Chains A and B, each alone.
Chain A
Amino acid sequence: MNSLLPSTFSLLPSPSAFLPHHSHGFSYLASPTSFTFSNKERRCLRNDGPVETAPKFELKPPPYPLNALEPIISQETLEYHWGKHHRAYVENLNKQIAGTDLEGKSLEDIIVISYNKGDILPAFNNAAQAWNHDFFWESIKPGGGGKPSGDLLKLIERDFGSFERFIDELKIAATTQFGSGWAWLAYKDNRLDVGNAVNPLATEEDKKLVVVKSPNAVNPLVWGYYPLLTIDVWEHAYYLDFQNRRPDYISLFIDKLVSWEVVSSRLEQAKVLIAEKEKEDERKKREEEEELLTGGSRAQMYPYSDAEGIVE
């Protein structure tokens, strides 16, 4: 059904190459205009096989002290959520991929490869959860909340009607994710949401913001979307502070913690990546057309060859 989505990752820059920065991911916050495409790196590593010195993924601390989100998210919650849960995902991933083909690949590549078009491989849960948590910590900040501005606000108003309606939709996604999972704001490039076909007539309007929810470790990278914001709705994210009151956690999270600056810069990065990808698509299309032209003159020879019985 989604064969056109993950396969594009092997040819094109991963939309996630810039999010979030990892030991061998890409630090987009530090250098928002310079990012590297991962396909070259992957090609180099593929033939090397497992290397003993392959860098391991590291548990990066949240970009604020563990007590900085109080009283909404307590220090105790962060000590477990980051110090135990997130750590376990990273450590287990490192153990899991050591000596396998996945070792040395970027976290984003491991996620897409191990998602395996929905028939998930063992490394998926740890890889995606390691990524999701990095992305989550960077989505929030002490004294966050309020309202976005600029392009992000314009797109929100265009695609949801108003900021308030967007917030309603985000809250519904987060409260109705049955069981463990995540709610997301993501940017989607020119694909119609039909699941089984490529958009035949891509237009600028097809690039739009969407609210989605995902179960357990799944994230929008596996659908080829560009994630901008996430809310962790696993119970461990809020149970010590809110117990069963998930809706209260979600409201306070949105009102007081979301870092709209980070969400905005992720949107800008997504647009840059999409533009790069389109240029690359255009270049390939031109190459194919040129090849077709030269191939076309050869094809005219075939009737003669055929007549002489030169067939396979």
Chain B
Amino acid sequence: MAARALFSRKTLTSSSIIASHSRGLQTFTLPDLSYDYGALEPAISGEIMQLHHQKHHQTYITNYNKAIEQLDLALSKGDASTAVKLQSAIKFNGGGHINHSIFWKNLTPVREGGGEPPHGSLGWAIDTHFGSFEALIQKVNAEGAALQGSGWVWLGLDKELKRLVVETTGNQDPLVTKGANLVPLLGIDVWEHAYYLQYKNVRPDYLKNIWKVINWKYVSEVYEAESPQS
């Protein structure tokens, strides 16, 4: 702060520092869910949903905000080593916020259409790339169960190759870390905190049941918005 006070707009030859500060820092707040914590039962318990949203997601946001505030300060001082040191916390916590924000939208209660398979262009694309809807589910379940430690299993769209892909990412890495052209359509959290209170060590059962509350309508909308019109 002291370093910044030494400068005034007039004396700075480079305007970049001023510019970044005049933009202000965009921090995040916890997004609301469009359903109650208990609304996904019995597939996912209300207790899990509440902890997952209020505690885990909130912690990623808190720590991301903290990290970018520190980054902002470091950049304003020209402190490169602190800026570099903060990268892992930004990637982890920022990734946690990105991934969970997608995850909540990927889910919806059964009475609001949860689990209803996709129709239209996404349905066609799934049949084309994976053989069938059931084959896609099997592939996601197999890759999600095989993932070591904490992470995510994704259905994504490769915008360049114009095809659907199933990918996994470790920890809180967002899908884009697996390829700049990859857009996440559906992400399933396979961290133990996503299922342990209910499913304990049996991750495959969690994966089997989560399909009952997948919001394919939302997934289809993202797919259509991201698909190049032909």
Contact = CB atoms under 8 A, between A and B. Distances in A.
A88 B200 CA distance: 13
A125 B148 CA distance: 8
Contacts of A180: 148-150, 192
Interface of B: 51, 55-56, 59, 88, 92, 148-151, 170-172, 191-193, 196-197, 200-201
A80 interface: yes
Contacts of A146: none
Interface of A: 80, 84-85, 88, 125, 178-181, 215-217, 234-236, 239-240, 243-244
Contacts of B150: 179-180, 235
B197 A239 contact: yes
Contact of A216 (B55, B148, B197, B201): B148
Contacts of B192: 180, 234-236, 239
A256 B149 CA distance: 27
Given A178-B171, A244-B51, 15 more contacts: A80-B200, A84-B200, A179-B149, A179-B150, A179-B151, A180-B148, A180-B192, A216-B148, A217-B149, A235-B191, A236-B196, A239-B197, A240-B196, A243-B55, A244-B193
20 contacts: A178-B88, A179-B149, A179-B172, A180-B192, A181-B149, A215-B149, A215-B170, A217-B148, A217-B149, A235-B150, A235-B191, A235-B196, A236-B192, A236-B201, A239-B196, A243-B51, A243-B197, A244-B51, A244-B55, A244-B59
B24 to A, nearest CB: 28
B149 A216 contact: yes
Contacts of A244: 51, 55-56, 59, 193
Given A178-B171, A244-B56, A239 B149 contact: no
Nearest to B194: A235
